[in-house]
Amino acid sequence: MGLLGLSSFSRASSSSMVAYVILVLGLVLNGALPCNGGQTSLFVRKVEKTIDMPLDSDVFRVPPGYNAPQQVHITQGDHVGKGVIVSWVTVDEPGSSKVLYWSENGKQKKQAEGKFTTYRFFNYTSGYIHHCTIRNLEFNTKYYYVVGIGHTERTFWFLTPPEVGPDVPYTFGLIGDLGQSFDSNRTLTHYELNPQKGQAVLFVGDLSYADNYPNHDNVRWDTWGRFVERSVAYQPWIWTAGNHEIDFAPEIGETKPFKPYSKRYHVPYKASGSTAPFWYSIKRASAYIIVLSSYSAYGKYTPQYKWLEDELPKVNRSETPWLIVLMHSPWYNSYNYHYMEGETMRVMYEPWFVQYKVDVVFAGHVHAYERSERVSNVAYNIVNGKCIPVKDQSAPVYITIGDGGNLEGLATNMTEPQPAYSAYREASFGHAIFDIKNRTHAYYSWHRNQDGYAVEADTMWFFNRHWHQLDDSTSS
Ligand SMILES: [Fe+2]
């Protein structure tokens, strides 16, 4: 309310004026001070249903030329960052699965041979999906690469990460639940134009939302691939599977989940001793990144449980100080959407996260933003009643970044009062940046789409849990 509102109060009784002042003060203080838990943003937005960009949108344009490679994307191709998996789709004929590549300063062009695959799903038949792993690259080097050899050639480039080491700075982008709506396009543009310049994206699941269409219309997997190519052809996106990747369709005999996702998005899971592409790890610069699957079995004795149990002791914080976990369904989430869906996995794995001092857990799924305090809830044993999360400096910060754009709209309905573990929450679309400075410090920022590209709507200095385990909470 502005001056016009105040002038109308000049005729009101003094008691209602006092009530008005108290109301305004209350609103201001509610936004400025932590109340119950942390802060619930008062940022005002017009909540509209998100809609997908139409099929003839320019971001979905098919590249010109006979059998031109499309949906080009890269991800890390080995455990340490000397490998890259290059993937693309051709539609007229298989063509070559070869990748030609050379370093910026090198004279010699090299080539790697890949393979292609196709699949059918309902009445959809895919194009020829190529995957080619390039290995033994130099660290910290710009490489050019060409796909579509023999037909329409397209050239792209990427930078390999610096050699793994404890004080290597590196900047990760964070995007989740992206989809292909108009909001998705805004999120990707904001990420690209963020002056902090992310070098690789940690993607926390829910890619195309094709399964929201009749017969899971897989044409929407193709459009999504063309939409994000402008980023993911040039820097690796580290993939996490979300619920929209499950594509469970027993009515057409598809009894195994994740078919279109598995065909299209390869990850280097074997390099970390994993037996399935839905949980794996990589090292990149000074970070050790563990990707988990909320939608694969994770109970005791399951392959994912056994793998994680063996994996966590392997993390050498003297080599990779920053231990980051990605998953789709958040463990700490105070929105009334997907509430407690991550609870069973939390019960299984949270004691390990505290024991091994995970720095931060990024999740998606809830279409909003939330950052937790460092809390744990590991004392409960059914009979002792200790079921409230408590502050714990060995625990990770939990960040929900499922605010990419999706197709289903924002999650605006929150649990009230805000729980004590919730440091900041806001129902806006956006992305985040995790900027590692050295072994002790990382600067984290969240950027909402409505702001200018450099604006930080929520920030935090992370102190490394192994090297600098001081209280880094923003509300104390
Ligand atoms: Fe989801």
Q: Spell out the domain ranges in the chain.
A: 167-205+278-463
Confidence at residue 458, expressed as pLDDT on a 0 to 100 scale: 97
* pLDDT at 432 > cutoff 80: yes
| pTM for the predicted model, two decimal places | 0.92
CA of 458 to the centre of ligand 1 (A): 23
Confidence at residue 410, expressed as pLDDT on a 0 to 100 scale: 87
Q: Return all residues near 22 (Cβ < 8 A) that are at least 6 apart.
A: none
- What percent of the chain has a predicted confidence (pLDDT) above 70? 92
For 207-265, the pLDDT digits (tens) are 999 999 999 999 999 999 999 999 999 999 999 999 999 999 999 999 999 999 999 99
CA of 337 to the centre of ligand 1 (A): 10
Give the mean model confidence (pLDDT) for residues 297-306: 98
CA of 37 to the centre of ligand 1 (A): 25
Confidence at residue 43, expressed as pLDDT on a 0 to 100 scale: 82
Q: Give the pLDDT band of residue 37 (cuts 50, 70, 90).
A: confident
Kindly give the residue spans of alpha helices, DSSP state H, lying in 10-130: 14-32
Give the mean model confidence (pLDDT) for residues 2-7: 33
Q: Give the pLDDT band of residue 56 (cuts 50, 70, 90).
A: very high
Confidence at residue 159, expressed as pLDDT on a 0 to 100 scale: 98
* pLDDT at 14 > cutoff 50: no
Give the mean model confidence (pLDDT) for residues 191-207: 98
Does domain 167-205+278-463 fall under CATH 3.90.1150.10? My reply is no
Q: Which of 130, 266, 338, 431 is catalytic?
A: 338
338 as an active site residue: the answer is: yes
Confidence at residue 412, expressed as pLDDT on a 0 to 100 scale: 86
CA of 242 to the centre of ligand 1 (A): 5
CA of 368 to the centre of ligand 1 (A): 11
CA of 409 to the centre of ligand 1 (A): 12
Confidence at residue 46, expressed as pLDDT on a 0 to 100 scale: 66
* pLDDT at 122 > cutoff 90: yes
For 136-194, the pLDDT digits (tens) are 999 999 999 999 999 999 999 999 999 999 999 999 999 999 999 999 999 999 999 99
| pLDDT-wise least confident of 41-45, 74-78, 128-132 | 41-45
CA of 366 to the centre of ligand 1 (A): 7
CA of 178 to the centre of ligand 1 (A): 10
CA of 411 to the centre of ligand 1 (A): 12
Q: Give the pLDDT band of residue 476 (cuts 50, 70, 90).
A: low
- Over its C-alpha atoms, the chain yields an Rg (Å, rounded) of 23
Nearest to 471 by CA among 462, 377, 167: 462
Q: Return all residues near 363 (Cβ < 8 A) that are at least 6 apart.
A: 176, 204, 326, 327, 328, 329, 330, 331, 333, 342, 398, 399, 400, 401, 402
Confidence at residue 369, expressed as pLDDT on a 0 to 100 scale: 97
The token pair that represents 106 in the structure block: 């090198």
Distances, alpha carbon 119 to alpha carbons 86, 378, 417, in Å: 19, 44, 48
Give the mean model confidence (pLDDT) for residues 7-13: 37
